[in-house]
A and B are shown apart, each in its own frame.
Chain A
Amino acid sequence: MEQKKSIFNSGIYLGVDVGSTTIKLALFKDNELIYKTYQRHLSMIKSKVLGELKKIEPLIGDESFHLAFSGSSGLGVANEIGVPFVQEVFATSELVKAVEKDTNVVIELGGEDAKVIFFDHGTDERMNGTCAGGTGAFIDQMATLMNVTNEELDELSLKSEKIYPIASRCGVFAKTDIQPLLNQGARKEDISASIYQAIVNQTIAGLAQGRKIEGKVMFLGGPLTFCKGLRKQFVETLELSPENAIFPEYAPISVAVGAAIYSSKIKETFNVHDLISKVKSLDTKKKVTKTLDPLFESQDEYDEFLKRHSKATVEEIPISEYSGDAYLGIDCGSTTTKLVLISDSNQIIYSYYNSNNGNPVEIIKSELEKIYTLIEGRIVIRGSVVTGYGEELIKKAFKIDAGLVETLAHYTAAKHFNPNVDYILDIGGQDIKCFKIRKNAIDSINLNEACSSGCGSFIETFAKSLGKDIKEFAKLGLFASNPVDLGSRCTVFMNSSVKQAQKDGAEIGDISAGLSISVVKNAIYKVIREASASALGKNIVVQGGTFLNDAVLRAFEKELGYNVIRPVISGLMGAYGSALYAKTLKLEKSNLISREDLEKFTHTSKMVKCNGCGNHCNLTINLFNDGERYISGNQCEKGESLGAEHADVIQLPNLFKYKQEKFKKLFDTEVDENKKTIGLPMSLGMYDLAPFWKTLFEELGFNVVFSGFSTKKIYQKGQYTIPSDTVCYPAKVMHGHIFELLDKNVDIIFYPCLTYNVDEKNGDNHYNCPVVAYYSELLASNLDELKKVDFLYPYLNINSEKELSKELVKIFAKYRKIDAKSMKNAINIAKIAYERWKFDIKQEGKKALEFAKNNDRYALILAGRPYHIDPEINHGIDKLATRLGFVVLSEDSVDDIELATNLGVLNQWTFHARMYNAAKFASKNKDVELVQLVSFGCGIDAITTDEVRSIMESEGKLYTQIKIDEITNLGAVKIRLRSLKGVLDEKKNERENEDN
């Protein structure tokens, strides 16, 4: 700390930084750092502060000293005891100004905050927005998920060979990406590095927001001090030379040092003894404002509750006392692996439930070994079934007889407890699933969206971060007298709410109970979308690991206002259902891997990049000792056919593919050196009007060049210029498309502002959404690079030939004089091309419907916006659907058959009106289904989804919604589509039976 010699005058200066997870102190006496600390406070803020003050009491003695608090949790304490407070980013810039004047940028990562401070041209400080949790706490969460310590995670990351794309917006998203990687057997080393890279990307995209991080960069805060791998990746990504990347020794306590510097500017001084007694007298109890009713009023009430739930049970007998036939069920979930062996009369003779520690294959192998030892020839396994995220991998690895969709597995099990079950709610580690049952068939399915997932494991991670195990943590919540109201949005928000509650002095028990209530509210109001409990059903069965937590179960019953059934084997339901299903297979002999083969069993995995198409998916190839392999990670048939198994897939009509082929042809343009080139960025509204603009500009004598379909690479090219991190993904990729066009050396880039979209006379009005309409304004504001070309974004009336012509003549006069007549002529030709394009898609739609009818296939409308055709935006959902046997239609291929009228909403957006029409059509045809594609962050879809749902349900049809974002994980989507297919098959069987 040489440099700091000159910072302080003589005297004592103390900086205290209480962040969301840690407390930091820096005590200076006569310019020397005489005490420092960095430690987790485990939410016990008052006692930690007190403890630290006591530690430094002898160092300060009776001398008066300067003091300032900082940090998000420090604010409350500072106010209470009446000491100066300095906002932490401000403290950091104080430090930098005093110590490293020539610093250009500071990047500071804390427990839950991420900050970037630019020092050139006036200080510009950025903090992460409310929807951006991925920082120190994020690393903790991820380490927990992978079952390693933070240090191990760091070590692993240094040995990485490749980086996987992991959604960088927030922790929940990242988790959804990481879990399947773990399940598919990707190397932990690579995942660790990918986690760090996600943080790097998030910092750059979310905080720098268009401003380049360059020059001398200082890295501060705990994670950037302790995680070598993270430091390495920051330096590499930002391309910093060693002298420009500064990692000061005081990095972890930088805010505390900054606070100490700040204190030197304040006249007021303090006495340490007085301070200690002030902190002691702090009453932390009364301040929490938002509290809820306790879960249990008394021990008696709890005992009665336990007694009631212990009745829902399955008989268990020791395996040693059984001989005969047995059936195996495996549930390879996202965070846990469950395994059940049942007897001929459905008793459980063996069960296993545990975290899969990121390696389900090894766990199942050792479990099977155990089982083979225990059955000792007395018991014969007659069938085996696997369900869950890891289904395919496990099926292949251990030659399991069959795979089963999770929803059906759970229903099979629930029926065992209550044949009249009409509602099942399953909250697992990461998924919330709920399904309604009507007439013995699953009638509707709700799954949580990527954004609100992770609720179950969230409680666990949170418990761990407070140094408690989940059971202990849950127990504390049962009798908490003032549960905190933590809201019901995503877990990142809950983190902040917890922070707030801690600040207000809530006790751990109150937080525990509050979290349980939040998980429940999230399920009811966000996933199920019901306002009243009575709409759910009379016979509710709850299950999934999260319901093992009595606090969660109680919170659910309290919220509903009546009791539900929680089977004692709540966590094992998927596996138990699979085992029951295995029994119904009535196999002569199970194909399950034999004891001998199991001994020889080995499993290795390696990563390759698929070169089958432009997507270049990252594939994980799992190799087994017998030469079998299982490939995962691909988005299409090609990659999978590396495994040769799917080569015989029938090519079903797919309008998405058809449209993509059409676009490919459209993109294929010739460039004449003598003409000016106009570049058209392919995202948002361009997916609708591209044929119009292309024809028009070619008619006018320009070259036309497209940026093509989106790719991750294109997205990353423009990522750092995105100013609003909560906008939808299709808008975000727009930035990359601009760079793509710039790389193609175009002269002009064109994306017009269209307040009003094409008037198709379908609704009350014909607007575009604000983002589609005005995104060019944002691009012009935030991409300095656009100054290199002519960026044209005129406001146009696309519906009036006269107005359109007038405006275009004006705009293009600069390049060449075009008279009104030839402009109108060109517009007309373009219009014909556009109409022809649309007509052709509708024709193809009719053909596909015809095919479906003649070949007895389900037709599935993937209803979204035109830009959902982009393979990077839809992540290949269309291909997944055809693989499952659906004929795939787009909303605009069938929107001319029915007209949706008398809607419960203002039908005022052109693209959305198409969806309503398509839904109307699907609702009226028994073999046509609809799945709505929704981009995360699309505010308008909050309105359309409920409306499309009611259109579908008014005719008794299933409604399915799929939320998509940058996440590439198709696991959850697969479950949805497979469940949908399962339900349809069942319904069809029923109809056929009735007919017979």
Chain B
Amino acid sequence: MKRKMKEKMKIIDGVMYDENGDAVFTKECKKDYTLLVPTMLPIHFALLKSMIEEFGYKVEVLDYRGSEVIQTGLKYVHNDTCYPATLVIGELLEAVFSGKYDTHKIALVISQTGGGCRASNYLFLLKKALKKAGYGYIPVLSFNFSGLKTQPGFRFSIPEFYDLAKCLFYGDLLMLLKNQCEPYEEEKGETERLVNFWIDKLSKEFKNKKFRKYKHIKSNYPLIIDSFAKIKRSDEVKPKVGIVGEIFVKYSPLGNNNLEKFLVKEGAEVYVPGLLDFMLYSVYNNVIDFDLYGMKKLTAKVSNLIYKFLLKKEEDIIDAVKSEGTFMPPTLFSETLKFREGYISEGVKMGEGWLLTAEMVELINKGINNIICTQPFGCLPNHIAGKGVMKQIREKNPNANIIAIDYDASASKINQENRIKLMLSNAKENL
């Protein structure tokens, strides 16, 4: 089988192409290629970059903003495709066009969720766009946990995957603490400085394999939490606003017009469920596939093991936050998943699926009644798991103050902000 693949490969101008004419990222490429990664979560991605570099890659996390990204995206991606595809591909192409890189020595990384949502096709849209722009020789790398085809030079071992997951542990913790400190900090900018300090310190630690051991990581949690607890904060009462929704626009400042910053500026505290939840959700769905449809028994068994393993790790974070006592801890995923009961089946697994519903209910149960549900305009799964369940959530939780915001290349910021302001007015009144 493997040999057959090799036979179909062709080498043109030093670039290897597979049978579909896609540029191949060989093991040799690893040495001198730079991987360009679009941003999503600034903290997490900074950590991931440091870690992947330890694996021997050169990585650059992009931070393009502004209308050029959107314009380029619109030019090269079908305009009815979801907004995240427009942005991510727009950002990558901007980098390719920028002249900053030797285009023969870069590869583009794009995440692929897998599953029935159209997001599993982003990779293909990027390939099409590159070919359209005349850069078909740039390899495209899929970053996914779903076993979708990856490039030969971009495969991670299980310990490496685990190391990547550790970045998410740190990332989720830092994000949680940042969100709870920043709105109250007395010295402006202190929180952000502390976040950067930790990103820097942890990145340096990654260089030493010993410090990548979980035991060490766990021992870092109290130090991190303490340092944030020491930030001088006012005791002002501010409305808490939870952000849920489609993963990209939920997290990415580029995707949601700097939503977190806007909310903080408007006098709110932001709560965003962590990325680990989404990972657990993705893993858990394989278990459900077996429960509901009797499919892929082996995958389900392995997934169940991974699930339990990761769950324990999440619990460690929660315990650390709890034992320090200053901050509101995240909810354990096994609790989160119960919140969907009575609203939506766990069978809804495309996009954010039932997790989106569960997170909204979880927030309300945490006392965070103000919720912004973000989605790209026309997002298919969110018709069901987002807007589709709101009536029920409101009926069962009369205090719920939920608003759905659509993000799109041409949706105007003023419309979005106007609706958010409405939600905030209610939030402040209910304070």
Q: B383 near A727 (CB under 8 angstroms)?
A: yes
Stretch binding the partner chain, chosen from B54-62, B236-244, B345-353: B345-353
State A810–B81 Cα separation when bound (angstroms): 40
B311 within 8 A of A: no
Find the B residue at minimum CB distance from A781. B392
Chain A, residues 935-950, CB within 8 Å of chain B (1/0): the string is 0010111110110000
* Cβ-defined contact, B348 with A130, below 8 A: no
- Determine whether the beta carbon of B345 is less than 8 Å from that of A753: yes
Q: How far is the CB of B344 from chain A (nearest CB, A)?
A: 5
Q: A127-B419, A770-B380, A943-B78 are in contact. Are A290 and B409 (CB under 8 A)?
A: no
Are B127 and A904 neighbours in the complex by a CB distance under 8 Å? Answer: yes
What are the residues of chain B within 8 A of A503 when measuring CB–CB?
A: 414
Q: Is the CB of A800 within 8 A of B384?
A: no
Min CB distance, B154 to chain A, in Å? 18
B234 contacts the other chain (CB 8 A): no
User: Are B383 and A531 closer than 8 Å at their CB atoms?
Assistant: no
Q: Would you list the 5 A-B pairs with minimal beta carbon distance, nearest first?
A: A487-B410, A797-B293, A767-B116, A778-B388, A489-B410
Residues from chain A with Cβ under 8 Å of B417 in the complex: 75
**Is A122 in the interface zone, CB < 8 Å from B?**
yes
Which residues of the other chain, A, contact B79 by a CB distance below 8 angstroms?
488-489, 525-526, 942
Chain B interface mostly: helix
B45-53, B330-338, B420-428: which one contacts chain A? B420-428
Given contacts A209-B391, A795-B345, A939-B81, contact A726 B412 (CB under 8 A): no
Q: Is B67 close to A, CB under 8 A?
A: yes
- Given contacts A290-B67, A904-B127, is CB(A755)–CB(B350) below 8 Å? yes
Assembly CA distance A143 to B133 (angstroms):
44
Knowing A773-B350, A795-B292, the reply to whether A131 touches B377 (Cβ < 8 A) is yes
Q: Mark A758-783, 1 if CB is under 8 A from B, else 0.
A: 00000000011111011101100110
| Contact assessment for B391 and A210 in the assembled complex, using a CB-CB cutoff below 8 Å | yes
Residue of B with least CB distance to A125: B422
Given contacts A122-B399, A531-B75, A795-B345, contact A496 B414 (CB under 8 A): yes
Q: Quick one: given A770-B350, A902-B20, are A489 and B378 in contact (CB under 8 Å)?
A: no
* Bound: A777/B348 CA distance, A: 8
> Which chain B residues border A723 with CB–CB below 8 Å?
383, 387-388, 390-391
Interface string of A115-127 (1 = CB under 8 A from B): 0000001111101
B78–A529 contact, CB under 8 A? yes
Contact, CB under 8 Å: A90 / B414? no
A803 close to chain B: CB less than 8 A = yes
8 contacts between A and B (CB under 8 A): A496-B411, A755-B292, A777-B344, A782-B391, A782-B392, A795-B292, A904-B20, A942-B82
Q: Is B121 an interface residue, CB under 8 A from the partner? A: yes
Determine whether B381 belongs to the interface, using a CB cutoff of 8 Å to chain A: yes
Bound together, the chains give a CA A88 to CA B421 distance in angstroms of: 10
Binding site for B on A (CB under 8 A): 72, 75, 86-90, 121-125, 127, 129-131, 209-211, 290, 485-490, 493-494, 496-497, 499-500, 503, 521, 525-526, 529, 531-532, 723-724, 726-727, 731, 753, 755-756, 767-771, 773-775, 777-778, 781-782, 795-797, 800, 802-803, 806, 902, 904-906, 908-909, 937, 939-943, 945-946
> Which residue among B75, B378, B384, B390 has the maximum number of chain A CB atoms within 10 Å of its CB?
B384
Q: Are B350 and A87 in contact (CB under 8 A)?
A: no
Nearest CB in chain A to that of B117: its residue = A770
Q: Which residue of A lies closest to B295 (CB)?
A: A797
Query: Does B418 belong to the interface (CB within 8 Å)?
Result: yes
Contact residues in B for A493 (Cβ distance below 8 Å): 408, 410-412
Residues of B within 8 A of A131 (CB): 377, 406
User: Are A905 and B121 also in contact (CB < 8 A) when A87-B418, A770-B380, A770-B381 are?
Assistant: yes
**In contact, B391 and A75 (Cβ under 8 angstroms):** no
Nearest-CB distance from B414 to chain A (Å)? Answer: 4
Instruction: Give bound CA distance, A122 to B293, whole Å.
Output: 42
Q: A770-B116, A777-B348 known; A905 and B124 CB under 8 Å?
A: yes
> Is A121 touching B398 in the complex (CB atoms < 8 A)?
yes
CA distance A795 to B133 in the complex (A): 43
* Bound CA–CA A943/B89 (angstroms): 14
Contacts of A122 in B (CB 8 A): 398-399
Q: Is B102 an interface residue (CB 8 A)?
A: no
Contacts of B118 in A (CB 8 A): 939-940, 942-943
Is the beta-carbon distance between A946 and B80 smaller than 8 angstroms? no
Residues of A within 8 A of B408 (CB): 130, 489, 493
In whole Å, how far is A264's beta carbon from the nearest beta carbon of chain B?
15
Could you tell me if A724 and B387 are in contact, using CB atoms closer than 8 angstroms? yes
Which residues in chain B, 7-51, are within 8 Å of chain A measured between CB atoms?
19-20
Which residue of chain B lies nearest to A778 when distances are taken between CB atoms in the complex?
B388
